[in-house]
Structure 1
Amino acid sequence: MATTRDLSPDDAEALAALYDDYEWWADRTVEDVRRALAETPVAVGVEADDDLVAAARVLTDYTYYAKVYDVIVAADRRGEGHGRRLLEAVRDHPELQAVDGLALSCREGLVPFYESVGFERFDREMPVPEGGCERLVRMTYEW
């Protein structure tokens, strides 16, 4: 039986182990994960058989914006519904109910999964105050 719960800095070791399985995030140290969890407004995990098998973090202002980060499901537990359970717990989290909606970025190959749990592709033009429309562009700044 899988259960969902909020994560805390005490879960850093288990979460770092999950990240270790995922090549992109294998360089995340337990101490860095602990610090990230301490500063993350909402962090949710799924446990099955006493193991953390899925997790996500949400950065939010509790009013306008909530962005989901670091969604991960243990490689050997994929296909068991843990990703869906995780995102439903994030969506239904009591601290996020006043927020207008959730946003996330994902790899193209994961779009069908996120659509299956209610996310919609946000790849369009938006009306701007000056009149007309402009395409929204995701920007990043790397150190």
Structure 2
Amino acid sequence: MHIVNQLTQSQFNEVHTFLSQRSYWSKGISKEKLQTAIENSLCFALVQNNQLIAFARVVTDQSTFANLLDVFVLEPFRGVGHAKQLLDAVVTHPKLQGLRRFSLATHDAHTLYQQFGFDSVKAPQYLMERLAQSSFTRQHS
């Protein structure tokens, strides 16, 4: 098993299927939007014999900040440490060292991320967001 930073077309299709159909955070994302997101991110894929096992991407300026996104392990491969292997590759990547802020949002994996140094936001009153909940499913004319 190893980490790759480029996806094959088959692996991209698996990432898209998971995110667009089974994730709670990217349901409905189009292939075009995902391709643009991947092209503008530092991506990590755990693969074995060309089979996608897990995926994560990081949006970063590689100097001061990073945001971890789209982290998942495919269902047949869960529960055996693949998420930890993937996250270790992310947090130790040379381009992600010395950052002032490394953030993420999670609904249910707080305990996992805490093992890699992530914690609750210390001053949430300073954070703001502009959120378009239906951005992936909005109809365009």
Fold shared by both chains (TM-score > 0.5): yes
Q: Which residue of 2 aligns with 1:28?
A: 29
Q: Which residue of 1 aligns with 2:112?
A: 113
CA distance in 2, matches of 1:14, 1:110: 22
Residue identity (%): 22
Q: CA RMSD in A?
A: 2.4
Q: Please say which structure displays the higher CA radius of gyration.
A: 1
Q: Which residue of 2 aligns with 1:38?
A: 39
Displacement of 1:35: 2.3
Tell me if the contact between 1:21 and 1:74 (Cα under 8 Å) persists in the aligned partners: no
Tell me if the contact between 1:6 and 1:43 (Cα under 8 Å) persists in the aligned partners: yes
Tell me if the contact between 2:91 and 2:116 (Cα under 8 Å) persists in the aligned partners: no
Higher-RCO chain (CA-CA 8 Å, sequence separation at least 6): 2
Tell me if the contact between 2:19 and 2:27 (Cα under 8 Å) persists in the aligned partners: yes
Deviates more, 1:29-38 or 1:68-77: 29-38
Q: Which residue of 2 aligns with 1:91?
A: 91
**Match of residue 139, structure 1, among 124, 129, 136:** 129
Q: 1:23 to 1:60 in 2, by over 3 A?
A: closer
Deviates more, 1:89-98 or 1:59-68: 89-98
For this pair of structures, how many residues does the alignment match?
Answer: 131
CA distance in 2, matches of 1:21, 1:49: 24
Gapped regions of structure 1 (runs ≥ 5)? 126-133
Displacement of 1:33: 2.2
Calculate the TM-score normalised by the size of structure 1: 0.76
